[in-house]
Structure 1
Amino acid sequence: MSIIYALVVRDPDIVLCEFSRAQGNFPQITRNIISKLPRSGKFSYTYNEKFCYHYISEDNILFICLSDAEFPRRICFLFLEDIKSNFMNRYGHVVNTVIAFGVNSEFSDVLKTRINYFNTDPNADKLQSIRSSVDEVRNIMIENIDKVLARGEKVELLVKKSEIMSEQAVTMKKRAVQVRRKMRFQNIKLYIICGVVFVFVLLLLVMSVCSPDFSEC
């Protein structure tokens, strides 16, 4: 599948330049149908079910190409827009006075080069290029989302760990308070016991000096 033939025509049927990448009677067939093509706009015309003419008509200039019927129309029209821009930039100021095949020696090489480009270079298909860019962006977005979700899971784990540590800290604080209270209570008991022992020893000392009934004091 490819673009086979291309030409530039000035009304009514003056061929200014053409190029064919295959042997055949394409030029004769094209000349026979030029007068039947509607003017002003973009059109496609199926010929013999195997081929398709595509053309752009602007003012009195037709930019025409012939392709296999299954070749994408969008690429054909991208090719024609490219040829139109290139041709008018070069010859727009003299296009109405150029004789038949007057620029063929120069511009047929351009037709050949651009046909080869649009037939073989994947970058020529802008729609496919856009789709590839969209797919690339989509893959990047999916990858980023996966990373965000992964970070989210990690954050969730950290939050859970923080909650557990917070609960453990509260429990430890309660236990510390209980331990302090227990130690304080044990200290009080120890002080009371020591006080009682001190009073008892003191009493024994006094009784030993003053007699048990304190008659000698």
Structure 2
Amino acid sequence: TTLVCILVNDAVGSNAMILFTLISRVADGLPLVASVKEDEELNRNLVDYQRQAKLLIRRLTPGSPSRCSLLAGSHHFHYLLEAGVCYLILAAANFPRQKAFSFLEEAQTQFSTQYANEIFTVSRPYGFIEFDRNLQKLQQKYTDTRVSSNVSQLNVALQDVQRIMIQNIDDVLKRGEALSELDAQAQDLSDLSRNYRQDANALNLQSAYTKYLIIIGVVLMILSFLYFRFLW
């Protein structure tokens, strides 16, 4: 299944809580909807990170954890993988993980309820862009200080959050590159093996043709000899 992540640096405004939300289909990495905090400077800084996110989505595997936090300097990524769809946010490091995963679960519930029959048939990127309004409302809800102080009502229990894996974004990227290289080497070996089998089959066929031609030639010589010896 693919990690959906975005790598960020300190240039992104640290006063924001949830800076970016991305929902993508895992099988082919198709982005379904994204929501970015309205800030011109922030949006410029996120361009490269969005590109890296798409790369990481393609690296999700069936063994990827269904919930994971990724450390990226002064910001953290949190993602939830559910029913072939990855829900990801980029948040400030001081944004509570319990709130992050409550946000993701609420976004997942709303999105899957609204688009359950269309998720795997849509073919154009950002086909559910109208869901951005829902994400904006959720982001506002979870960055509201009145909600921030009332964590006891959140959907995700604190003990469950503590069991969620924490990884470093750089390690994930490097591991993904290593796996990609292994996949490429395996593909090269597979291609070489297939070419070898094809060449071997061609040689065997050529050898068989040559053998049959020799036999036919010998038979013709014998028949010619008998014809000229006894019938001419």
Which residue of 2 is the match for residue 18 of structure 1? 34
Q: How much does 1:129 deviate?
A: 4.8
- Per-residue CA deviation, residues 26-59 of structure 1 (Å, 9 max, x unaligned), is 3223223223445351111112x11111111012
Which residue of 1 is the match for residue 23 of structure 2? 8
1:44–1:123 Cα change, 3 Å: same
- Per-residue CA deviation, residues 5-26 of structure 1 (Å, 9 max, x unaligned), is 0011002310000011042223
Which residue of 2 is the match for residue 30 of structure 1? 53
Which residue of 2 is the match for residue 183 of structure 1? none
Q: How much does 1:128 deviate?
A: 4.1
**1:202-213 correspondence runs (5 A):** none
Matched residue type, 1:59? A
1:125–1:40 Cα change, 3 Å: farther
1:13–1:125 Cα change, 3 Å: farther
Task: Pick the aligned partner of 2:108 from 73, 78, 84.
Answer: 84
RMSD: 2.1
Which residue of 2 is the match for residue 44 of structure 1? 69
Q: Which has the higher contact order (CA 8 A, sep 6+)?
A: 2
Range with greater deviation from structure 2 (115-124 or 35-44): 35-44
- Per-residue CA deviation, residues 63-90 of structure 1 (Å, 9 max, x unaligned), is 1111012211111101000100000110
Distance 1:67 1:87 in 2: 20
Distance 1:86 1:72 in 2: 21
Matched residue type, 2:90? L
Distance 1:36 1:54 in 2: 16
Matched residue type, 1:8? I
Q: How much does 1:93 deviate?
A: 1.4
Distance 1:98 1:58 in 2: 18
Distance 1:19 1:37 in 2: 21
Distance 1:19 1:90 in 2: 17
Distance 1:29 1:50 in 2: 17
- Give the secondary-structure state (helix, strand or coil) at the position aligned to 1:71: coil
1:52–1:37 Cα change, 3 Å: farther
Which residue of 2 is the match for residue 96 of structure 1? 120
Matched residue type, 1:85? T
Which residue of 1 is the match for residue 82 of structure 2? 58
Q: Which has the higher helix share?
A: 1
Distance 2:96 2:137 in 1: 19
Determine if contact 1:42/1:57 at 8 Å carries over to the other structure: yes
**1:48-197 correspondence runs (5 A):** 49-99=73-123, 100-104=125-129, 106-123=130-147, 127-129=151-153
Q: Which runs of 5+ in 2 are unaligned?
A: 1-15, 155-232
Q: Which runs of 5+ in 1 are unaligned?
A: 131-217
Kindly tell me the number of residue pairs found equivalent between the two proteins: 128
Question: Which of the pair has more CA radius of gyration?
Answer: 1
1:32–1:125 Cα change, 3 Å: farther
